Amino acid sequence: DAGVIQSPRHEVTEMGQEVTLRCKPISGHDYLFWYRQTMMRGLELLIYFNNNVPIDDSGMPEDRFSAKMPNASFSTLKIQPSEPRDSAVYFCASSLGAGVAGEFFGPGTRLTVL
Amino acid sequence: SQQGEEDPQALSIQEGENATMNCSYKTSINNLQWYRQNSGRGLVHLILIRSNEREKHSGRLRVTLDTSKKSSSLLITASRAADTASYFCATDARGQNFVFGPGTRLSVLP
Protein backbone atom coordinates (compact mmCIF):
# COMPACT_ATOMS: atom_id res chain seq x y z
CA ASP A 1 0.00 0.00 0.00
CA ALA A 2 1.27 3.51 -0.77
CA GLY A 3 0.31 4.80 2.64
CA VAL A 4 -1.80 7.84 3.31
CA ILE A 5 -1.69 10.19 0.34
CA GLN A 6 -2.22 13.92 0.66
CA SER A 7 -2.37 16.60 -1.97
CA PRO A 8 -1.17 19.15 -2.58
CA ARG A 9 2.11 18.93 -0.66
CA HIS A 10 2.47 22.70 -0.64
CA GLU A 11 -0.14 25.39 -1.12
CA VAL A 12 0.42 29.13 -1.18
CA THR A 13 -2.65 31.28 -1.44
CA GLU A 14 -3.85 34.76 -0.70
CA MET A 15 -6.10 35.72 2.16
CA GLY A 16 -9.75 35.28 1.29
CA GLN A 17 -9.22 32.45 -1.17
CA GLU A 18 -10.74 29.03 -0.80
CA VAL A 19 -8.34 26.20 -0.01
CA THR A 20 -9.10 22.50 -0.46
CA LEU A 21 -6.84 19.84 0.96
CA ARG A 22 -7.23 16.23 -0.10
CA CYS A 23 -6.53 12.91 1.53
CA LYS A 24 -6.63 9.28 0.48
CA PRO A 25 -6.46 6.96 3.50
CA ILE A 26 -4.93 3.51 3.57
CA SER A 27 -7.31 1.00 2.05
CA GLY A 28 -9.26 -0.86 4.69
CA HIS A 29 -8.77 1.73 7.40
CA ASP A 30 -12.09 2.83 8.80
CA TYR A 31 -10.92 5.87 10.76
CA LEU A 32 -9.65 9.08 9.20
CA PHE A 33 -8.24 12.04 11.07
CA TRP A 34 -7.34 15.60 10.12
CA TYR A 35 -4.69 17.35 12.20
CA ARG A 36 -3.11 20.78 12.08
CA GLN A 37 0.43 21.45 13.28
CA THR A 38 1.92 24.84 14.11
CA MET A 39 4.91 25.89 16.15
CA MET A 40 2.71 27.72 18.59
CA ARG A 41 0.00 25.14 19.17
CA GLY A 42 1.68 21.87 18.26
CA LEU A 43 -0.40 19.08 16.78
CA GLU A 44 -4.15 19.55 17.05
CA LEU A 45 -6.89 17.15 16.08
CA LEU A 46 -9.44 18.97 13.93
CA ILE A 47 -11.95 16.26 13.05
CA TYR A 48 -12.17 12.53 12.62
CA PHE A 49 -14.42 10.18 10.69
CA ASN A 50 -15.46 6.60 11.28
CA ASN A 51 -16.81 4.73 8.28
CA ASN A 52 -17.11 8.04 6.41
CA VAL A 53 -19.23 9.63 9.14
CA PRO A 54 -17.89 12.65 11.07
CA ILE A 55 -17.67 11.63 14.72
CA ASP A 56 -16.02 14.57 16.46
CA ASP A 57 -15.46 17.96 14.89
CA SER A 58 -14.92 19.84 18.12
CA GLY A 59 -11.38 20.68 17.07
CA MET A 60 -12.45 22.54 13.96
CA PRO A 61 -11.45 26.14 14.73
CA GLU A 62 -14.46 27.89 13.21
CA ASP A 63 -17.11 27.81 10.54
CA ARG A 64 -14.58 28.66 7.85
CA PHE A 65 -13.36 25.08 8.14
CA SER A 66 -15.31 22.14 6.78
CA ALA A 67 -14.45 18.51 6.09
CA LYS A 68 -16.15 15.82 4.07
CA MET A 69 -15.64 12.16 3.41
CA PRO A 70 -17.85 11.19 0.48
CA ASN A 71 -16.45 7.65 0.38
CA ALA A 72 -14.00 5.36 2.12
CA SER A 73 -11.09 6.37 -0.05
CA PHE A 74 -11.30 10.15 -0.12
CA SER A 75 -11.64 13.08 2.24
CA THR A 76 -11.33 16.84 1.87
CA LEU A 77 -10.65 19.66 4.29
CA LYS A 78 -11.82 23.03 3.03
CA ILE A 79 -11.04 26.49 4.35
CA GLN A 80 -13.21 29.29 3.02
CA PRO A 81 -12.22 32.07 3.26
CA SER A 82 -8.62 31.45 4.25
CA GLU A 83 -6.73 33.74 6.64
CA PRO A 84 -3.00 34.14 7.37
CA ARG A 85 -3.46 32.49 10.77
CA ASP A 86 -4.51 29.31 8.99
CA SER A 87 -0.93 28.87 7.80
CA ALA A 88 0.20 25.50 9.13
CA VAL A 89 0.97 21.94 8.12
CA TYR A 90 -2.19 19.89 7.80
CA PHE A 91 -1.89 16.15 8.28
CA CYS A 92 -4.31 13.42 7.40
CA ALA A 93 -4.04 10.09 9.19
CA SER A 94 -5.92 6.83 9.05
CA SER A 95 -6.17 3.80 11.29
CA LEU A 96 -7.89 0.46 11.61
CA GLY A 97 -9.60 1.52 14.79
CA ALA A 98 -9.28 4.12 17.48
CA GLY A 99 -6.91 2.74 20.07
CA VAL A 100 -6.40 -0.55 18.26
CA ALA A 101 -3.25 0.34 16.41
CA GLY A 102 -1.27 3.39 15.56
CA GLU A 103 -2.44 6.07 13.24
CA PHE A 104 -0.67 6.21 9.91
CA PHE A 105 0.11 9.77 8.91
CA GLY A 106 0.36 11.26 5.48
CA PRO A 107 3.25 13.55 4.53
CA GLY A 108 1.19 16.65 5.22
CA THR A 109 0.20 19.73 3.26
CA ARG A 110 2.12 22.88 4.09
CA LEU A 111 -0.33 25.77 3.73
CA THR A 112 0.81 29.36 3.54
CA VAL A 113 -1.82 32.07 3.44
CA LEU A 114 -0.42 35.46 2.50
CA SER B 1 -4.29 22.13 28.87
CA GLN B 2 -2.29 19.31 27.33
CA GLN B 3 -3.38 15.79 28.15
CA GLY B 4 0.07 14.48 27.36
CA GLU B 5 3.20 16.51 27.88
CA GLU B 6 6.72 15.45 27.01
CA ASP B 7 9.81 16.23 29.00
CA PRO B 8 12.38 17.52 28.27
CA GLN B 9 11.40 19.90 25.49
CA ALA B 10 14.81 19.44 23.91
CA LEU B 11 17.57 16.89 24.38
CA SER B 12 21.02 16.81 22.87
CA ILE B 13 23.25 13.72 23.19
CA GLN B 14 26.25 12.10 21.55
CA GLU B 15 25.91 9.22 19.14
CA GLY B 16 25.99 5.93 21.00
CA GLU B 17 24.45 7.32 24.17
CA ASN B 18 20.97 6.45 25.37
CA ALA B 19 18.15 8.98 25.15
CA THR B 20 15.26 9.03 27.57
CA MET B 21 12.12 11.07 27.07
CA ASN B 22 9.20 11.25 29.44
CA CYS B 23 5.51 11.86 28.99
CA SER B 24 3.08 12.83 31.72
CA TYR B 25 -0.67 12.95 31.38
CA LYS B 26 -3.58 14.01 33.50
CA THR B 27 -6.51 11.64 33.17
CA SER B 28 -6.89 7.87 32.91
CA ILE B 29 -6.12 6.42 29.51
CA ASN B 30 -6.77 3.32 27.44
CA ASN B 31 -3.60 3.55 25.39
CA LEU B 32 -0.51 5.66 24.96
CA GLN B 33 1.46 5.96 21.77
CA TRP B 34 4.86 7.33 20.82
CA TYR B 35 5.51 8.91 17.44
CA ARG B 36 8.58 10.29 15.70
CA GLN B 37 8.60 13.22 13.32
CA ASN B 38 11.59 14.10 11.22
CA SER B 39 11.92 17.74 10.29
CA GLY B 40 9.38 18.70 7.67
CA ARG B 41 7.91 15.19 7.49
CA GLY B 42 4.82 13.38 8.72
CA LEU B 43 4.62 11.47 11.95
CA VAL B 44 5.70 7.86 12.17
CA HIS B 45 4.10 5.56 14.69
CA LEU B 46 6.65 3.89 16.97
CA ILE B 47 4.89 1.99 19.73
CA LEU B 48 1.43 1.68 21.27
CA ILE B 49 1.24 0.55 24.89
CA ARG B 50 -2.04 -0.32 26.55
CA SER B 51 -3.01 0.72 30.04
CA ASN B 52 -2.63 -2.86 31.32
CA GLU B 53 0.92 -3.13 29.99
CA ARG B 54 4.02 -1.91 31.81
CA GLU B 55 6.75 -2.23 29.23
CA LYS B 56 7.17 -2.82 25.51
CA HIS B 57 10.20 -3.18 23.29
CA SER B 58 10.76 -2.60 19.63
CA GLY B 59 14.32 -2.83 18.40
CA ARG B 60 16.32 -0.12 20.17
CA LEU B 61 13.17 1.38 21.64
CA ARG B 62 11.84 0.63 25.10
CA VAL B 63 8.63 2.15 26.39
CA THR B 64 7.41 1.97 29.95
CA LEU B 65 4.06 2.97 31.37
CA ASP B 66 3.27 3.74 34.99
CA THR B 67 -0.45 4.36 35.28
CA SER B 68 -0.18 5.12 38.99
CA LYS B 69 2.10 8.05 38.20
CA LYS B 70 0.34 8.82 34.91
CA SER B 71 3.64 8.79 33.09
CA SER B 72 5.49 6.99 30.32
CA SER B 73 9.06 6.97 29.15
CA LEU B 74 10.66 6.29 25.80
CA LEU B 75 14.23 5.02 25.86
CA ILE B 76 16.32 4.91 22.71
CA THR B 77 19.45 2.88 23.23
CA ALA B 78 22.71 3.30 21.32
CA SER B 79 21.41 6.40 19.58
CA ARG B 80 22.36 7.24 16.02
CA ALA B 81 22.42 10.50 14.12
CA ALA B 82 19.37 9.25 12.21
CA ASP B 83 17.40 9.27 15.47
CA THR B 84 17.46 13.06 15.40
CA ALA B 85 13.80 14.04 15.30
CA SER B 86 10.93 15.23 17.43
CA TYR B 87 9.21 12.61 19.55
CA PHE B 88 5.58 12.89 20.59
CA CYS B 89 3.46 10.98 23.00
CA ALA B 90 -0.25 10.71 22.34
CA THR B 91 -2.81 9.63 24.88
CA ASP B 92 -6.46 8.72 24.59
CA ALA B 93 -8.35 9.80 27.66
CA ARG B 94 -11.17 7.34 28.12
CA GLY B 95 -13.87 8.01 25.56
CA GLN B 96 -11.79 10.52 23.66
CA ASN B 97 -9.42 10.45 20.78
CA PHE B 98 -5.67 10.69 20.91
CA VAL B 99 -4.24 14.00 22.09
CA PHE B 100 -0.63 14.80 21.26
CA GLY B 101 1.87 16.54 23.50
CA PRO B 102 4.17 19.34 22.31
CA GLY B 103 7.02 16.91 21.70
CA THR B 104 10.68 16.48 22.62
CA ARG B 105 13.27 17.60 20.09
CA LEU B 106 16.11 15.09 20.13
CA SER B 107 19.45 15.93 18.57
CA VAL B 108 22.01 13.14 18.26
CA LEU B 109 25.43 14.54 17.55
CA PRO B 110 27.98 12.51 15.59
Instruction: Specify whether the CB–CB gap between A19 and A12 falls below 8 A.
Output: no
Most confident of A16-30, B19-33, B43-57: A16-30
Minimal-distance CA residue of chain A relative to B88: A43
* A contacts of B102 (beta carbons < 8 Å): 42
Nearest CA to B71 out of B14, B12, B26 is that of B26
Q: Report the gap between the CA of B82 and the closest CA in chain A (Å).
A: 18
pLDDT in tens, B34-45: 999 887 777 888
Minimal-distance CA residue of chain B relative to A91: B42
Instruction: Specify whether the CB–CB gap between A36 and B100 falls below 8 A.
Output: no
At B93 the pLDDT is 64
Give the closest of A99, A102, A105 to B42, CB-based. Answer: A105
Instruction: Specify whether the CB–CB gap between A34 and A94 falls below 8 A.
Output: no
In chain A the beta strands, taken as DSSP E runs, fall at: 5-7, 10-13, 19-24, 31-38, 42-50, 53-56, 65-71, 74-79, 88-95, 104-105, 109-113
Q: Are β-strands A88-95 and A74-79 bridged in parallel, bridged antiparallel, or unpaired?
A: unpaired
Mean pLDDT of B6-19: 93
Q: Do the chains contact at B48 and A105, CB–CB below 8 Å?
A: no
Stronger pLDDT, B83 or A102, i.e. the higher one: B83
Residue A93 pairs in a beta bridge with A33, A105
Residue B31 CA neighbour count, 13 Å, CB half: 17
- B1 pLDDT more than 70: no
At A72 the pLDDT is 95
- B50 pLDDT more than 80: yes
Q: What is the dihedral of CA B84, A22, B99, B9, to 10 degrees?
A: 30
Q: Are β-strands A65-71 and A5-7 bridged in parallel, bridged antiparallel, or unpaired?
A: unpaired
Give exposure, A57-96, as e/b (b: 16+ Cβ within 10 Å).
eebbeeeebebebeebeebebebeebeeebbbbbbbbbbe
- Could you report the average pLDDT of every consecutive run of 10 residues in chain A (114 residues)? 89 97 95 88 88 90 94 97 95 78 84 97
Q: Do the chains contact at B42 and A99, CB–CB below 8 Å?
A: no
Q: What is the dihedral of CA B91, B94, B98, B102, to 10 degrees?
A: -40
Q: Do the chains contact at A103 and B102, CB–CB below 8 Å?
A: no
* B contacts of A43 (beta carbons < 8 Å): 43, 88, 100, 103
